[in-house]
Chain A
Amino acid sequence: MDSKGSIMSDLSSVRPVVEAKGLIKTFGRVVGLNSANLELYPGEVLAVIGDNGAGKSTLIKCISGAETPDSGQILIDGNEVSFKSSLDARAFGIETVYQTLAVAPALDIASNLYLGREKRKSGILGSVFRKLDHSGMRTTAKEQMTKLGIGTLQDMSQAVETLSGGQRQAVSVARAEAFGSKVVILDEPTAALGVRESNQVLKMIELMRDRGLPIILISHNMPQVFEVADRIHVQRLGSRAAVVTPQTHTMNDAVAIMTGALKVDEKDQALGPVRVPASA
């Protein structure tokens, strides 16, 4: 406990990358978020869990710009921001991976990686004729996929529909990693995948974290959450019930917190950072 305490004190000066303070969001009479807080520290994997209707999706949508909170603050590196759309959030380096395998099936891997952010050729071909830099995009796409441990895909001009579900999700994750300079949010990334494919995605999450990129993982899958998360944010009835770690609490505890059967004292929670960022 002492050694852990000293790490905590070393980390106590660490500022959250993303901080949500007192977010409130209502949908008509339904309260989505009731003064919800969230902190994401550098280089960590923060899992967000909660029962259906606990507000985890709404919370994440507020951070990824898909929803605008009625009140409350969102801070990126300590500066308050307000997102009108997910494009705004992207401009701040916040990328989201969705469970629905959000790729264009008929387009190739490289085109999907750069979809909406295509690279153009340099010189007059690019500036006047708006010609895309196909070979450049393919090369960097290949590097990006290899970096995330999916070097088995050789041909970046292969249509995404010829890939397995796991490989498609890998393309989404690679895209998020390539452009998410600040945070990558994964919303149930393994919900549509099989066991082996899920493990591939989990491995990618660890690789991204090891490269210093903080990650928010929304998942229903407790074993996965306990496998990769540094801290686990438990959402209940529109606000944060507790933040625990896989070391201090069990899956059963987490479920108990979700349902309200267990209350965790604030001093037993992991409200501060627990992981030394890889880049530090």
Chain B
Amino acid sequence: MSTPTTTDAESLIENLDRKGPMHHFHNAVHKYPWISPAIVLLVAVIIFGLINERFWPISNLSLITQQVSIVGALAVAQTLVILTAGIDLSVGAVAVLSSMVMAKTAAEQGVPGPIALLLGFAVGAAAGALNGFLITKLRLPPFIVTLGTLSIFMAVTLIYATGRTINRDKMGEAADILLWLGNPLQVGSFKITYGVVMMILLYVFFSWVLKNTAWGKHVYAVGDDPAAASLAGIRVNRVLFSVYLVGGIVLAIAGWIAIGRVGSASPTILPDANLESITAVVISGTSLFGGRGTMFGTLIGAILVGVVSNGLVLAGLDQAYKVLAIGILVIVSVALDQWIRKVRS
């Protein structure tokens, strides 16, 4: 039994440590990092709704989900990479390259739709594998590797496409499957597309995989502390490589969604995709330093990016304000992440 004095001191310290709403909030966002973007999303929706009544109609909300579908899918791959403490600056370029391959093989070589689709997936996988190879075998930092491959993939796309857009007519019979994700789907009074469904399926699938498989645990462990993961017997490089490879396939799916959304394949679509995908992940409470974050959070982050873009446009503000707002969101989120990581033991 401890003496009364120490009990007093201990309870005092305990009070210092535990009490206060700030501490509870800190604990909560630490355990569920998506809480903060969810709050920001809620606030943003209310503000945009108040300042512009055109924000609320279901047609506009449906439009937001469609606008989110591409960036949302890219952000799935980006989340996997960022969970390993990496970053992928080439996500948009890989998606566009894959979509060009799908459309051009169908349009010019007359490849049947499903095969063209698979070719696109293969190119996405190969691009991811190249990133993974450079990062794990040559031990180059992901930032540098993907900065380089961003340019390479963009250039390859432009050269391959010879600068031309391939629209529905040129794709022939393959157009049915290549543009399938653009088809509308009525859910109640919501009009979404199959592309939105595909994006949501990606989130559900990877959310499940991260939580329930050994691979998922290893992705977190590698991002958290690669040395500790390696000592625990995890083949760190193999996990990293697999993340970029799987990410590449996800990016090809994002490219497929993009063809459906835009109605054609063009080498110059998705100019802001890289930044927006990183933004979606970072504002979701996923740590750029790895090991922390969820797919669900990224989905909220992607929707938040979509809501902010849409809301600012509806408010009649210049495009520049959207970029400004996203920049502020990123910095605030990273600052918040630093605060969250500053944890007590």
Contacts and interface: CB of A to CB of B under 8 A. Distances in A.
A105 B213 contact: no
Contacts of A92: none
A116 B233 CA distance: 6
A132 B233 contact: no
Interface stretch (B49-57, B181-189, B223-231): B223-231
B291 A115 contact: no
Contacts of A162: 343-345
A161 B343 contact: yes
Interface string B221-264: 10011011101111000000000000000000000000000000
B213 A131 contact: yes
Contact of B220 (A96, A104, A134, A161): A104
Interface in A75-104: 86-87, 90, 96, 98, 100-104
A163 B345 contact: yes
A102 B291 contact: no
A107 B220 CA distance: 8
A130 B291 contact: no
A102 B233 contact: no
A111 B211 CA distance: 11
A275 interface: no
**Interface-central residue, A115, A117, A134, by most chain B CB under 10 Å:** A115
A106 B228 contact: no
Given A90-B233, A131-B212, A132-B214, A104 B345 contact: no
Contacts of A115: 217-218, 221, 229, 232-234
A132 B217 contact: yes
Interface in B141-196: none
Contact of B228 (A104, A129, A134, A164): A104
Contacts of B217: 107, 111, 115, 118, 132
Contact of A106 (B214, B224, B227, B231): B224
A106 B289 CA distance: 12
A109 to B, nearest CB: 13
A246 interface: no
Contacts, number: 77
A120 interface: yes
Nearest to B226: A104
B292 interface: yes
Contacts of B214: 118, 120, 130, 132
B228 A103 contact: yes
Contact of B227 (A100, A107, A111, A164): A100
A165 B228 CA distance: 15
Interface residues of A, number: 32
A132 B212 contact: yes
B345 A161 contact: yes
Interface in A100-151: 100-107, 111-112, 115-118, 120, 129-132, 134
A105 B290 CA distance: 11
Given A132-B212, A132-B214, A104 B231 contact: no
A96 B227 CA distance: 14
B170 to A, nearest CB: 41
Contacts of B291: 104-107
Contact of B221 (A86, A107, A117, A130): A107
B221 A102 contact: no
Contacts of A120: 214
A87 B345 contact: no
A116 B224 contact: no
Contacts of A129: 212
Nearest to A117: B233
**Interface-central residue, A87, A161, A163, A175, by most chain B CB under 10 Å:** A161
Contact of B234 (A98, A116, A163): A116
Contacts of A107: 217, 220-221, 224, 291
A161 B345 CA distance: 6
A104 B292 contact: no
B232 A102 contact: yes
Contacts of B234: 115-116
Contacts of A105: 224-225, 291
A102 B345 contact: no
Contact of B292 (A96, A106, A163): A106
A87 B233 contact: yes
Given A104-B224, A107-B221, A132-B214, A116 B232 contact: yes
Contacts of B344: 162
A175 B233 CA distance: 12
Interface string B253-294: 000000000000000000000000000000000000001100
Contacts of B231: 86, 96, 98, 102
A104 B232 contact: yes
A209 B233 CA distance: 24
A129 B211 CA distance: 12
Given A134-B212, A162-B345, 16 more contacts: A96-B231, A98-B231, A100-B227, A102-B231, A103-B225, A104-B220, A104-B225, A104-B232, A105-B291, A106-B220, A107-B220, A107-B291, A112-B232, A115-B232, A118-B217, A175-B232
15 contacts: A86-B233, A102-B231, A103-B228, A104-B225, A105-B291, A106-B220, A106-B224, A112-B232, A115-B233, A116-B229, A118-B217, A120-B214, A130-B215, A165-B345, A175-B232
Interface of A: 86-87, 90, 96, 98, 100-107, 111-112, 115-118, 120, 129-132, 134, 159, 161-165, 175
3 nearest A-B residue pairs (beta carbon): A116-B233, A118-B214, A115-B232
